[in-house]
């Protein structure tokens, strides 16, 4: 029976390839949406993840950076800096706002840097230089590519114009890119004085970030201090929540599409082979063995589609950002394993109707075919 299932499936190579390609397309959509979502989620937390202090200090009640607002008095920064466990404290100002670059308006994270705060600035540059003067800005290189705003051009944040002096790498996200401006300019935009948004605290080598965070919380009132890993976990969870419903919906739609393709393939396979199935039943094959054969055939078609999709995901998807730089894509093993489970469910769902038809098939028709 297995040999028949295998050989009869591969005897119609055209329809097998067509079915597998159809399923692969649906699976590729699942992988692609997931990869874009994961890539964007990673990119949303790119700034905190790359500057990576041992401890983040912020206003009490605030636990992350994404879409948050925080104010910490400057004297609190001085108090933390004076603690023996602390190596240095780098304050930043931070604002979520719309920027205008060329004809494009987009949401961005704007980080205000003190003149000596290189530690909190861009971690990789593709062109230009660091900020040295007021009203200068460093923007993501991809943003420059999309908007056409180059070094020497201007962009506006609220009602202020900034001169682009550098292009940073790895700071673009279609949801919110990271821009760097002088601290004093952002202070002006925020109409604030004597406050910071976040403090990036680096500990001495033998100090545990968790212990330091607790000690800061004990000694400085009305602030929140979190080790970097906890801070990132909070930010990541928030970033994930923002797109998860859309991705789940897309995954369900694509999975249903894949199940329909599998179902249609298995249905047409059974309909094409109904003469042979009737013969096999007449010769003495049980319903259960025919059911297994149909399941195996459906499983092989789905497996081929799955492998094609995985191959595409591993070979082609990572190359997409070089063609579409505004896309950040991350194909994860977790996503591929999830797709494997989806493929299994799709096989079972897709085989329901054909199996029902097989069970109902009358073996006596073997005399009439």
Select 49 or 365, whichever has its Cβ closest to other proteins: 365
Q: What is the largest CA-CA distance in the chain?
A: 95
- Asked if 90 and 199 touch (Cβ cutoff 8 Å), the reply is yes
What own/partner pairs with CB < 8 Å and gap ≥ 24 does 144-152 have?
145/325, 146/104, 146/325, 146/326, 147/101, 147/102, 147/103, 147/104, 148/102, 149/101, 149/102, 151/127
Write down the least CB distance from residue 261 to other proteins, Å.
23
Select 174 or 268, whichever has its Cβ closest to other proteins: 268
Structure tokens at 226: 């979190």
Pick from 180, 69, 62: which is nearest to 119 by CA?
180
Select 5 or 99, whichever has its Cβ closest to other proteins: 5
For residue 22, what are the β-bridge partners?
none
Q: Phi/psi class of residue 223: alpha, beta or left (left: φ > 0; alpha: ψ in -120 to 50)? A: beta
Please enumerate in sequence order all residues whose Cβ is within 8 A of that of 126, keeping only pairs 6 or more positions apart, or say none. Answer: 141, 167, 168, 169
Select 245 or 368, whichever has its Cβ closest to other proteins: 368
Q: How far apart are CA 190 and CA 38, in angstroms?
A: 32
DSSP H or E run through 323: helix 320-323
Write down the least CB distance from residue 300 to other proteins, Å.
14
Pick from 347, 357, 346: which is nearest to 270 by CA?
357
Write down the least CB distance from residue 13 to other proteins, Å.
11
Select 195 or 287, whichever has its Cβ closest to other proteins: 287
Structure tokens at 98: 């719309």
Select 51 or 290, whichever has its Cβ closest to other proteins: 290
Select 335 or 358, whichever has its Cβ closest to other proteins: 358
Which residues in this chain contact other proteins in the complex, by CB under 8 A? 1, 3-4, 7-8, 10-11, 275-276, 279-287, 289, 362-364, 366-369
Select 50 or 286, whichever has its Cβ closest to other proteins: 286
Read out DSSP for 244-291?
A: HHHHHHHHHHHHHHHHHHHHHHHHHHHHHTHHHHHHHHHHT--HHHHH
Select 244 or 364, whichever has its Cβ closest to other proteins: 364
Q: How far apart are CA 85 and CA 168, in angstroms?
A: 32
Pick from 307, 309, 294: which is nearest to 347 by CA?
294
Select 289 or 338, whichever has its Cβ closest to other proteins: 289
Q: DSSP class of residue 120?
A: G
């Amino acid at each position: 029976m297995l040999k028949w299932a295998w050989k009869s499936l591969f005897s119609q190579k055209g329809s097998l390839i067509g079915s597998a390609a159809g399923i692969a397309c649906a699976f590729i959509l699942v992988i692609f949406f997931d990869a874009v979502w994961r890539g964007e989620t990673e990119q949303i937390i790119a700034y905190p993840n790359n500057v990576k202090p041992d401890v983040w200090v912020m206003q009490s009640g605030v636990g992350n950076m994404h879409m948050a607002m925080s104010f910490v008095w400057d004297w609190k920064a001085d108090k933390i800096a004076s603690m023996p466990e602390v190596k240095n404290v780098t304050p930043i100002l931070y604002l979520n706002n719309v920027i205008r670059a060329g004809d494009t308006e987009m949401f961005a994270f704007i980080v205000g840097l003190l003149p000596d705060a290189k530690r909190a600035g861009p971690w990789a540059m593709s062109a230009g230089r660091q900020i040295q003067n007021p009203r200068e800005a460093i923007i993501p290189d991809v943003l420059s590519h999309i908007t056409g705003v180059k070094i020497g051009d201007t962009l506006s944040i609220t009602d202020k114009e900034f001169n682009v002096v550098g292009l940073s790498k790895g700071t673009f996200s279609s949801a919110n890119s990271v821009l760097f401006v002088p601290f004093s300019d952002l202070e002006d935009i925020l109409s604030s004085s004597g406050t910071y948004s976040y403090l990036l605290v680096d500990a001495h080598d033998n100090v545990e970030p968790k212990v330091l965070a607790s000690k800061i919380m004990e000694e400085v009132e009305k602030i929140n201090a979190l080790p970097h890993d906890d801070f990132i976990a909070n930010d990541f969870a928030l970033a994930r929540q923002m797109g998860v419903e859309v991705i789940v919906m897309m995954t369900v739609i694509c999975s249903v599409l894949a199940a329909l393709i599998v179902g249609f393939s298995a249905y047409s396979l059974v309909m094409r082979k109904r003469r042979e199935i009737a013969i096999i039943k007449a010769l003495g094959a049980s319903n259960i063995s025919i059911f297994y054969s149909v399941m195996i055939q459906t499983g092989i078609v789905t497996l081929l589609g799955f492998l094609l999709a995985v191959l595409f995901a591993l070979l082609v998807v990572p190359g997409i950002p070089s063609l579409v730089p505004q896309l950040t894509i991350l194909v994860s093993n977790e996503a591929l394993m999830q797709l494997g489970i989806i493929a299994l469910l799709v096989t079972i769902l897709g085989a329901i109707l054909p199996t029902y038809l097989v069970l109902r098939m009358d073996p006596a028709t073997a005399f009439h075919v």
